[in-house]
């Protein structure tokens, strides 16, 4: 007697303030996966204020498999001066290892694309670590194109504060 594959029920929902501890846990798991555990310093208080305060900085989708939290996507809007439209920027997407391969990542990306289209966004963008070949392969399979001519630049910590403190014009 052979066993038939069991199909999982995949669902996606908008996060609520009650999800903040779950969101922080998923961020911690993502940071561990990306080898950046020391960089993940957000607290529940930070996330509650920034995601659900009077002026939310970002939105979160929770992905579930058979009713169990299995991943998340955190996104916000940016703006393209060339297009004259806002865009949707995916800051983080993560699917727990035990739930990979069931289609949750593809469902999350499709939902984000639908949100971008419904909101009149001119594009949907994100960054990926160059060593993460599994993710890059996944993104290519869903039709994403790498922006190889662009390099991300970042100011943070002391450098950010030093530039902000400069008086000369």
Whether 159 and 125 have beta carbons less than 8 Å apart is answered as no
pTM of the model: 0.90
CATH of domain 10-164: 3.40.630.30
Kindly state the DSSP code that residue 3 receives in the 8-state scheme.
P
End-to-end CA distance of the chain: 78
Task: Encode pLDDT of 1-29 as tens digits.
Answer: 444 445 679 999 999 999 999 999 999 99
Task: Encode pLDDT of 35-62 as tens digits.
Answer: 999 999 999 999 999 999 999 999 999 9
Task: Encode pLDDT of 95-147 as tens digits.
Answer: 999 999 999 999 999 999 999 999 999 999 999 999 999 999 999 999 999 99
* Domain chopping of the chain, boundaries: 10-164
Look at phi and psi of residue 79 and say left if phi exceeds 0, alpha if psi is from -120 to 50, else beta. beta
């Amino acid at each position: 007697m052979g066993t038939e594959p069991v199909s999982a029920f995949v669902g996606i929902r908008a996060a609520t303030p009650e999800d903040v501890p779950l969101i922080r846990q998923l961020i911690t798991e993502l940071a561990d996966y990306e080898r950046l555990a020391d960089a993940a310093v957000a607290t529940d208080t930070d996330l509650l204020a920034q995601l659900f305060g009077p002026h939310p900085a970002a939105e979160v989708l929770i992905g579930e498999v058979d009713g169990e939290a299995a991943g998340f996507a955190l996104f916000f809007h940016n703006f393209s001066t060339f297009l004259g439209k806002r865009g949707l920027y995916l800051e983080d997407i993560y699917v727990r290892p035990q739930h990979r391969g069931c289609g949750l990542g593809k469902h999350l990306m499709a939902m984000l694309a639908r949100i971008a289209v419904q909101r009149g966004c001119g594009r949907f963008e994100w960054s990926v670590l160059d060593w993460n070949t599994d993710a890059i392969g996944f993104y290519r399979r869903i039709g994403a194109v790498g922006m190889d001519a662009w390099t991300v630049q970042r100011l943070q910590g002391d450098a950010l504060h030093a530039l902000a403190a400069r008086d000369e014009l």
